[in-house]
Amino acid sequence: MKVLPYLAVASFVAGIGMLLFGYFEAGSGSSTPPEAPLAAFTVTPTPIPSATATPVPSPTATPVPYDGKVARFQIPRFKVDAAVEDIGIQSNNELAVPSDPTDVGWYGIYQKPGFDGNALFAAHVDYYGRDPNTLPFHDLKDLTGDDQVVVQMDNGLKYTYQVYSLTRYKVLDNPSVASLPQIQMGDIIAGKGLPADHTQWITLITCGNTGPFVYVHGNSGPVEYLTRDVVVAYRVS
């Protein structure tokens, strides 16, 4: 992938290619101070005890998951309600990004929401010339275990997911991010660390735009973020 003039390219190694996210223009001599590592959190749901006298219902057939299109992506706390693009791998063997920076990309090469497994989403965290508040994952780093995200299918069916973890990874070796774990896409796609009783989950990935960056050429112009923010959420309804 080639770097566009005056744009900051945010990418991470994904085994089969590079996935690109946020864009912004850095003026000559400008800099962003390195941010302290984002603390990962894990929320353990509290089991709800079942009543001792509750009768056991007769077994019923498991409904077939809806196999329509993924239509919208919502983060209620941040008032995000974005269209979803089905994206995959480009001809140059790189993972694609949404054609519209205000959309969320769903990687149809992985699982679909509503089915067991991991549905992988990505979106821009910033973009040159765009209001950051219009970009779906601009506030992704501020999600907590109290937050939910919603995926809506084209028939109106909604799946709700509870945020389980937020982790900041490094994608490039640099002293300012030495304490962060290296991103491993295989582990992320496999849902490593997610409790076994959660069979459906989603993974959201974007750039750590408040973290450090490096200039691609010299001391001004295009820059590349050194970190990625990854949110995992499991389905609750």
pLDDT (tens digit per residue) in 24-78: 444 444 444 444 444 444 443 434 444 455 565 655 555 789 999 999 999 999 9
What pLDDT does 114 receive? 96
80 vs 210, more confident: 80
| Rg value, the chain, Cα | 19
Asked if residue 220 is part of any domain, the answer here is no
- Name the residue range of residue 95's domain: 37-44+66-207+227-235
Which pLDDT band, with edges at 50, 70 and 90, does 128 fall under?
A: confident
pLDDT above 60 for 160: yes
3-class secondary structure, 204: strand
pLDDT above 90 for 118: yes
Asked if residue 187 is part of any domain, the answer here is yes
Q: What's the rounded Cα separation, in Å, for the pair 75 and 148?
A: 7
Q: What's the rounded Cα separation, in Å, for the pair 101 and 94?
A: 18
Residue 223's identity, in one-letter code, is V
- Note the pTM of the prediction, 2 decimals: 0.76
Please state the rounded mean pLDDT for residues 81-104.
89
Q: What's the rounded Cα separation, in Å, for the pair 2 and 20?
A: 11
How far is CA 208 from its chain centroid?
A: 11
Asked if residue 191 is part of any domain, the answer here is yes
The CA-atom distances, in angstroms, between 133 and each of 79, 81, 102, 137, 175 are 10, 12, 10, 9, 31
* CATH number of the domain that residue 100 is part of: 2.40.260.10
Asked if residue 53 is part of any domain, the answer here is no
Residue given tokens 């990505």 in the structure block: 122
Q: What's the rounded Cα separation, in Å, for the pair 138 and 106?
A: 17
Asked if residue 14 is part of any domain, the answer here is no
Residue 90's identity, in one-letter code, is Q
Identity of the highest mean pLDDT range in 85-89, 134-138, 173-177: 134-138
Asked if residue 135 is part of any domain, the answer here is yes
CA-based torsion, 135, 137, 138, 139: positive or negative: positive
| Neighbouring residues of 98: CB distance < 8 A, sequence distance ≥ 6 | 85, 87, 104, 105, 122, 123, 124
Pair 66, 115: CB distance under 8 Å = no
What pLDDT does 57 receive? 61
User: How high does pLDDT run on average in the chain?
Assistant: 78
Burial of residue 106 (CB within 10 Å: 0-12, 13-18, 19+) is: buried
How many domains are contained in the chain? 1
The CA-atom distances, in angstroms, between 75 and each of 78, 163, 222 are 6, 11, 30
Asked if residue 51 is part of any domain, the answer here is no
What pLDDT does 174 receive? 85
Asked if residue 231 is part of any domain, the answer here is yes
165 vs 51, more confident: 165
Pair 163, 143: CB distance under 8 Å = yes
